[in-house]
Amino acid sequence: MSFLQAMQHRYTTKKYDASKKIGSQKIEELKEILRLSPSSINSQPWKFTFVSDRATKEKLSKVSWINTSKVTDSDTVIVLSRIDSLAAFESQIERELPEGAVNYYKEFIKPQPEAQTKAWFEKQVYLALGVLLSACAEMGIDATPMEGIEPENYDKIIGQSDYTTLVAVAIGYRDPEDANQPSKKPKSRIALDQIIETI
């Protein structure tokens, strides 16, 4: 299957087959793919938490609004978080990045208000989200990105204090009866000539 075909086949899964499991090798591949995700100046202000423990997923489901069954029936929930402390982030880039990247941060990002800097962190996490969803499509894994969650409660449940949950992604395999899949509900997208311009 080509990447285009994979993208035509993927959709936001609404109903999972809880009996189908993702192989451990594919999970490990997804972890490495996320680690390799691009970010501005290679900043990597993120953390990715893979939750497959049934009891933990049950707790997360209760703070996931309309996404309850997606959390419980999927194989794994991946929680994407951004670093919360500017001091911790600055320590990380001083340790991990070349001088030019650190200087870029100090000159262009750090002078901004803290909220704006954290918004910049969040943009990097969403780059990783796009990579994750694309990787899942290519690997034949179904996925549901979920902003309909309670981030503070997610943080408590997964036991993180240095990072803030932004979005979660349920992954697994679709229920054959899922009415949202393209074979039952064709994809709805704006026409190509309305959103693509060639100069």
pTM reported for the whole predicted model? 0.97
Mean pLDDT for the stretch of residues 13-22: 98
User: How far is it, in rounded angstroms, from Cα 180 to Cα 38?
Assistant: 30
Across residues 10-28, what is the average pLDDT?
98
Q: Which helix (H) or strand (E) holds 83?
A: strand 76-83
Indicate the pLDDT class of residue 1, thresholds 50, 70 and 90.
Answer: confident
Tens-place pLDDT, residues 105-137 = 999 999 999 999 999 999 999 999 999 999 999
Sign of CA dihedral 98, 100, 106, 112: negative
Q: Which CATH class is domain 3-195?
A: alpha beta
Give the mean model confidence (pLDDT) for residues 73-78: 98
Contact between 142 and 170 under an 8 Å Cβ cutoff? The reply is no
Q: Which percentage of the chain shows pLDDT scores above 90?
A: 99
